[in-house]
């Protein structure tokens, strides 16, 4: 038996077993996803909260996994595989130019049509690659909070002043939250970077910078256009929506040609493995978080464990408690990209104040129960807790200030 074990190990048995385990993990995730996608949960006589948990999971699986999360995983895998560590450290690291780092991080969300969950693999990628905690958390907040599609829709549906307040508030908040995270965990971050000493001469120059820039631009374009939503009020916008699959297909073709011409087989294997690493870490946590969020809060317009009347009755006016409750409730709920606007439209119609409305917009898209679970797995309990507290406090203060002005 001992000889067999030695022989098995010598001939790569450990690698074979790892491959088999990875295949089972992939199969398990695929089966759960397929079940969530196809099983008609609405036809079963389940208790309200239980039904909402599964219905929200199904809605998430059908609308956001294939077009949002999977492209985001590939972008994160590309960051991990092809972005040089010295580049991340140069622009987002502990000794990077702070003005440049926070400026880039705070406006990054304008080109990414992502929700609080889709941004997670991107955040995880740059943080594990060596980005400083401050710029990384500024990016984590700004990604879903400053989504240009959502800003335009907010201004169009809820009013120009609220759209502008959301955009300005989100940019300022991302910088302030990032700086505070940096200062609060300054000693910890210094130790983290000291323990990961990096020599810039270790990595050789790879493909030209312009090729890498085009490659990442195409990946982001696929994510953006695949998720482009309709809006008949804007003719140009609607025109892009009508042909979005042609545009997406053109970018996919361009990506295929780039992968064939510019990348080696080993690089493509590394990219695939990195993308899978993010997927197997994040998918189970997200699915569990969505189930919990659905059980407690339900989908918009549907009852779950917490009655919606309680929420609506607590967010009228512009009191501290109303703004705080709006921030806390929004930070627990899952808002898919752009869905916060119609939800808020209904809440405002039911008597929600302007201050709490902005507080919801500043806290909701950036946080959710599923994304909290994943953030904790990336940067630990203490940092995650402080990040959540900062978002809630800033959103509450921003809502009260806005409500007092308008």
Instruction: Provide the domain count of the chain.
Output: 1
**Structural domain contains residue 219:** yes
Q: Is 149 left (phi over 0), alpha (psi -120 to 50) or beta?
A: alpha
**Structural domain contains residue 64:** yes
| pLDDT < 70 regions, the chain | 1-15, 17-18, 84-90, 93-95, 109-118, 147-149, 152-153, 193-206, 232, 300-301, 308, 311-312, 336-339, 342, 345-346, 349-350
Question: Domain range spanning residue 398?
Answer: 25-36+45-197+207-405
**Per-residue pLDDT tens for 6-36?**
554 555 565 676 677 888 888 988 999 999 9
**Structural domain contains residue 320:** yes
**Structural domain contains residue 239:** yes
Secondary structure percentages of the chain, helix, strand, coil, to 5: 80, 0, 20
**Structural domain contains residue 258:** yes
**Structural domain contains residue 105:** yes
Measured CA to CA, the distance from residue 176 to residue 398 in angstroms comes to 12
**Per-residue pLDDT tens for 76-88?**
788 778 876 666 6
Helix H or strand E encompassing 76: helix 70-82
pLDDT at 2: 54
Relative orientation angle of helices 265-296 and 13-38, to the nearest 10 degrees: 40
Longest pairwise C-alpha distance within the chain: 79
Measured CA to CA, the distance from residue 318 to residue 162 in angstroms comes to 15
**Structural domain contains residue 7:** no
pTM over cut 0.75: no
Measured CA to CA, the distance from residue 348 to residue 374 in angstroms comes to 31
**Structural domain contains residue 108:** yes
């Amino acid at each position: 038996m001992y000889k067999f074990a030695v022989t098995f190990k010598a001939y790569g048995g450990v690698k074979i077993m790892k491959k088999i385990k990875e295949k089972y993990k992939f199969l398990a995730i695929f089966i759960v996803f397929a079940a969530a996608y196809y099983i008609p949960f609405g036809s079963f006589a389940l208790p309200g909260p239980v039904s909402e948990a599964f219905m929200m999971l199904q809605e998430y699986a059908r609308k956001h996994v294939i077009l949002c999360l999977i492209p985001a995983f590939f972008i994160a895998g590309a960051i991990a595989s092809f972005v040089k560590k010295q580049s991340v450290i140069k622009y987002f690291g502990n000794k990077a130019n702070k003005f440049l780092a926070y400026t880039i991080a705070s406006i990054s969300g304008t080109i990414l049509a992502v929700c609080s969950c889709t941004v997670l693999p991107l955040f995880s990628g740059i943080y594990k690659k060596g980005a400083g905690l401050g710029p990384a958390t500024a990016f984590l907040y700004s990604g879903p909070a400053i989504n240009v599609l959502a800003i335009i829709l907010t201004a169009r549906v809820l009013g120009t002043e609220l759209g502008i307040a959301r955009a300005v508030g989100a940019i300022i908040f991302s910088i302030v939250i990032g700086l505070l995270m940096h200062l609060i965990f300054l000693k910890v971050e210094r130790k983290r970077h000291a323990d990961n000493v990096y020599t810039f001469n270790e990595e050789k120059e790879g493909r030209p910078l312009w090729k890498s820039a085009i490659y990442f631009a195409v990946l982001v374009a696929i994510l953006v256009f695949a998720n482009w939503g309709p809006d008949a009020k804007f003719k140009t916008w609607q025109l892009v929506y009508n042909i979005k699959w042609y545009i997406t297909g053109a970018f996919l073709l361009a990506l295929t040609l780039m992968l064939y011409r510019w990348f080696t087989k080993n690089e493509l294997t590394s990219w695939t493995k990195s993308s899978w690493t993010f997927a197997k870490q994040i998918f189970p946590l997200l699915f569990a978080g969505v189930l919990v969020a659905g059980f407690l809060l339900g989908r918009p317009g549907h009852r779950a464990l917490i009655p919606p009347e309680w929420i609506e009755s607590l967010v009228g006016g512009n009191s501290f408690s109303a703004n705080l409750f709006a921030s806390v409730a929004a930070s627990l709920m899952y808002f898919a990209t752009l869905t916060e606007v119609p939800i808020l439209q209904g809440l405002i119609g039911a008597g929600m104040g302007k201050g709490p409305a902005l507080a919801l917009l500043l806290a909701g898209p950036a946080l959710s129960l599923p994304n909290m679970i994943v953030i904790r797995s990336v940067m630990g309990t203490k940092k995650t807790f402080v990040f959540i507290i900062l978002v809630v406090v800033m959103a509450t203060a921003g809502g009260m200030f806005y409500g007092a002005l308008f």
